[in-house]
Amino acid sequence: MSIQKKFRKEIWAPFVRGLKEYDMLREGDRVAVCISGGKDSMLLAKCMQLLQRFTDRPFELVYLVMDPGYSPENRAQIERNAALLGLPITVVENRLFEAAASADKSPCYLCARMRRGCLYRSAQELGCNKIALGHHFDDVIETVLMSMLYGGEMKTMMPKVHSAHFAGMELIRPLYRVREQAVIGWARYNDLSFLRCACRLTEGTATGQLDSKRQEMKELIRALERRSPSVGANIFHSFHNVNLGTLVGYRGDGVPHPFTEEYARPGSPYWLSGEDG
């Protein structure tokens, strides 16, 4: 589907680079590629399928679709796209939308947590040791800005993370270095139509994706990049290039650590940051 040729620079190269740079895959892994029906997870599944064909470090794949209560039309669209892309999907059904709708507060938050748990559990039952999600470069930098502007902390979306509740399971994000615009370009070039938001809780309303802080961050980054195209890349590089000698504090293992703990110790980063005044 043009990934390794027309979109080699925009998709394939950063996809492979991210896998290598963050050591996401090991020989013998069995990975559940989690497919929501959107453009990102479908592209991820296709990239992983292509990589499996050409890698010299064999691994196994399961294309996992969790149906939390999709409408028949959305379920059919996912199945059509999977067939079109040559992805042999495994569908796991549950009633998450129904359960989340009964929550008194934050149904979206509850649904997201339950979905993640169900994905881990289903993947583990299928013999997988990793799940792969379709978060991309723009998801990452938007998360950084949201955590700063609305959460009062500096927090990133990690390229991989160990599960705290499912022993031996790991989450990876192979599209970590792929820009969203490249994903959109790939879908348009191939005349593909994917689900945008299949949530039954927000159908027919103005809530959900389009009325969210994440959408606000998308628009902010777009506006900044129109004036300075390197803004997105600079946000991304900033949390790979943290200057410890300029941090007023950090939190480790849930405990806050002010810079004054280390300030007086000779050889600490605060002695090495230069005379910046």
pLDDT surpasses 60 at 89: yes
- Which residues pair with residue 92 across a beta bridge? 66
pLDDT tens for residues 104-142? 655 566 667 778 888 999 999 999 999 999 999 999 999
CB 178, CB 19: distance < 8 Å: no
d(CA 27, CA 23): 11
Predicted TM-score (pTM) of this structure: 0.89
pLDDT of residue 52: 97
pLDDT of residue 188: 96
pLDDT tens for residues 218-236? 999 999 999 999 999 999 9
Query: Which is higher by pLDDT, 277 or 85?
Result: 85
pLDDT of residue 206: 39
d(CA 147, CA 235): 13
CA dihedral of 256, 262, 268, 269, whole degrees rounded to 10: 40
Mean pLDDT over 236-245 rounds to 93
d(CA 214, CA 92): 28
Select the CATH number that applies to the domain covering 8-223 from these four: 3.40.710.10, 3.90.1150.10, 3.40.50.620, 3.40.1410.10: 3.40.50.620
CB 81, CB 42: distance < 8 Å: yes
d(CA 135, CA 34): 11
- Which residues pair with residue 179 across a beta bridge? none
Contacts within 8 Å (CB) and 24+ apart, 104-108: 107/201, 108/199, 108/201, 108/208
pLDDT of residue 30: 98
Where does the chain hold its CATH 3.40.50.620 domain(s)?
Answer: 8-223
pLDDT tens for residues 162-214? 999 999 999 999 999 999 999 999 999 999 999 876 565 555 443 444 458 89
Q: The tokens 């990133």 sit on which residue?
A: 156
